[in-house]
Amino acid sequence: MKNRLLALLLALLMLGATACGDPAADSAGNTSAGADTPAAEEAETEPEDTSVKTALPDDLDFAGASYRIHNLDSTSYYDTIVAFEQNGDNLNDAIYNRDQKLMQDLNFKFEETVGNPDAHGGLVQETKNLIMAGDDAFDQYILVDWSGYTLAQEGYAIPVTTLPYIDVTREYWSQSIHEDMSIRGKLYFAFGDHNLSTYDSVNVLLYNKAMSTDLNLEDHYGTVLEGTWTLDKMQSNMQLAVNDVDGNGTWDENDRYGITSHSKQVLPVFWVASNMRTIEKNEEDVPVFSLSSNEKFATMYERVLSMMHGDHLLFMSDSFPDYANNTLFIGGGALYNIVRVAFLHYYRDMDIDYGIIPYPKWDEAQEQYCSRTEGAFIHIYPSTLTQHDLAGAVTEAMACASLNEIIPVYYDVVLKSKYTRDANSTAMLDLIYGNRFYDLGDTLFCGTIRDGVFAGKFKNNDVNLQSTLKSLTKISERTINNYVEAFDKLEQP
């Protein structure tokens, strides 16, 4: 999308240059059309279609077949895959218009069943039961990422790349995330632009603009764009923000902090922001636990714990009824807030002005800002699938049409209009979405690595990393090996 925006800006600049240098304009600014370029013809010239196209055949016709989706209702992520009516909401109506055109062009119809949002475990078992019974009830299931992988390991899902017509190398599929998700070069799941949960699941950093001004901090936006937004800079800013407001020596919700977050979210955003993963890939595209000999991670770990647990910089929101609805930050009690895009709606009506920025780089030598993606939904194509051509064509067409028609609305109208407070925040979103990471140790294996170990160690300020890594390495390697072996067995004849 960024490339398309740049192309549009360049086109506008070229149009402006042409108008300024029009040889048919006289000194008074009037123009006269030449014999070879009648003004009427120029006025009737249609603008060039710059939309992205699929490679789908023009004559595909599915004779009114039903494409059946089993969706997961969510209270957090944007879960609308198809829209069956218009309701005045810009995003819903854009999805509705996309769907109507797709159904007309390919001659099929959408059907959707929505599961109980309070019974996710039940939905997973329901999906298993249907597939085990050989029931061709649905062409596509939607579940949270870890459960989708579990079903795939057990043989209930087919790789998305085996479906006809799908080309996951295209620009409407997330290439950077796919590098993290593949196994031996094969993708069981792929994140396309029709799956808005992959945008909702990105983490951003909010900062209190009024507090930043009062503390005479450097302009955050300028610092980010200059490439000097680093962990050192953030720490110095946080230290200036800390204040025992009531002067009673007891630190609680009535005081002011450098940053606020649920404890389990702190370490992951900073190891990803520092351009690191807990799980890397080897030359065979197999996941490998990478922390055993990673000196940079050890340094980062010690640094973040020391920083966050010292000088009262961090207020942990674990005790709040809903940690995502961080009332301390909303009330002006912290300079920064760690938040997922899906939770920005809590801050839409916040009285204090805030800005959105990426997480800081490890140092200025780091080339890019890196954004953490975690918890997105996965689209499953069951082993019972019979309508392979329909599933592949609809999925590819939805992803492409979403790049052209849905992401601009989600990105420019929803994010930029509803959740950002100024034009500079929109430039920050370009940087944030431009380099998304999907660390398997923070997502698929979070029960073993992130929540299983690092969440507790961070909360308890446990600086003893090396002894923990010895046991964690064994557990992680065993977990990953079982995971890879399960997929390898599926490939055996």
Q: b/e per residue, 9-28, with b = 16+ CB within 10 A?
A: eeeeeeeeeeeeeeeeeeee
Q: Is 258 in contact with 334 (CB distance < 8 Å)?
A: yes
Q: Across the beta sheet with 377-380, what order do the strands follow?
A: 108-115, 65-72, 140-144, 377-380
Whether residue 389 is found in the same domain as residue 365: no
Diameter of the chain by CA atoms? 85
> Which residue bears the tokens 């995502």?
324
Whether residue 395 is found in the same domain as residue 311: no
For 205, other C-beta atoms within 10 Å of its C-beta total 25
Classify residue 43: in a domain, yes or no: no
Three-point CA angle 17, 23, 24, nearest 5°: 115
Whether residue 265 is found in the same domain as residue 279: yes
CA-based radius of gyration for the chain: 25
Return the closest-CA partner of residue 108 out of 388, 384, 381, 394.
394
Classify residue 336: in a domain, yes or no: yes
Whether residue 97 is found in the same domain as residue 115: yes
- Dig out the tokens for 336 from the structure: 């920064």
DSSP state of 211: H
- Dig out the tokens for 361 from the structure: 């780089």
pLDDT score at 16: 37
pLDDT score at 429: 87
Whether residue 384 is found in the same domain as residue 412: yes
The CATH code of the domain that includes 88 is 3.40.190.10
Whether residue 401 is found in the same domain as residue 348: no
Classify residue 482: in a domain, yes or no: no
- Dig out the tokens for 317 from the structure: 């929101």
Whether residue 449 is found in the same domain as residue 462: yes
| Run of H or E including 142 | strand 140-144
Classify residue 284: in a domain, yes or no: yes
Classify residue 311: in a domain, yes or no: yes
Q: Is 201 in contact with 374 (CB distance < 8 Å)?
A: yes
Return the closest-CA partner of residue 165 out of 384, 391, 386.
391
Classify residue 398: in a domain, yes or no: yes
| Run of H or E including 71 | strand 65-72
How many independent structural domains does the chain possess?
Answer: 2
Q: How far apart are CA 186 and CA 161, in angstroms?
A: 7
DSSP E strand boundaries for 374-467: 377-380, 436-437
pLDDT tens string, the chain, 493 residues long: the values are 444 433 333 333 333 333 333 333 333 333 334 444 444 444 566 778 889 999 999 999 999 999 999 998 887 788 889 999 999 999 999 999 999 999 999 999 999 998 764 455 578 888 899 999 999 999 999 998 888 888 999 999 999 999 999 999 999 999 888 888 898 988 999 999 999 999 999 999 999 999 999 999 999 999 999 999 999 999 999 999 999 998 888 899 999 999 999 999 999 999 999 999 999 999 999 999 999 889 999 999 999 999 999 889 999 999 898 888 999 999 999 999 999 999 998 998 899 999 999 999 999 999 999 999 998 899 999 999 999 999 999 999 999 999 999 999 998 888 887 787 777 877 898 899 888 889 999 999 999 999 999 999 999 999 999 989 999 999 999 999 999 999 999 887 6
Classify residue 108: in a domain, yes or no: yes
Three-point CA angle 366, 370, 372, nearest 5°: 150
Whether residue 133 is found in the same domain as residue 242: no
Whether residue 387 is found in the same domain as residue 428: no
Return the closest-CA partner of residue 374 out of 319, 323, 437, 449.
437
Q: b/e per residue, 240-274, with b = 16+ CB within 10 A?
A: ebbeeeeeeeeeeeebbbbbbbbbbbbbbbbbbbb
Whether residue 258 is found in the same domain as residue 187: no
Classify residue 81: in a domain, yes or no: yes
Domain that holds residue 260: 203-374+422-472
User: DSSP letters of 394-431?
Assistant: HHHHHHHHHHHHTHHIIIIIIIIIII--SHHHHHHHHH
Q: Is 376 in contact with 199 (CB distance < 8 Å)?
A: no
pLDDT score at 116: 62
Whether residue 246 is found in the same domain as residue 143: no
Q: How far apart are CA 108 and CA 136, in angstroms?
A: 17
Whether residue 321 is found in the same domain as residue 443: yes
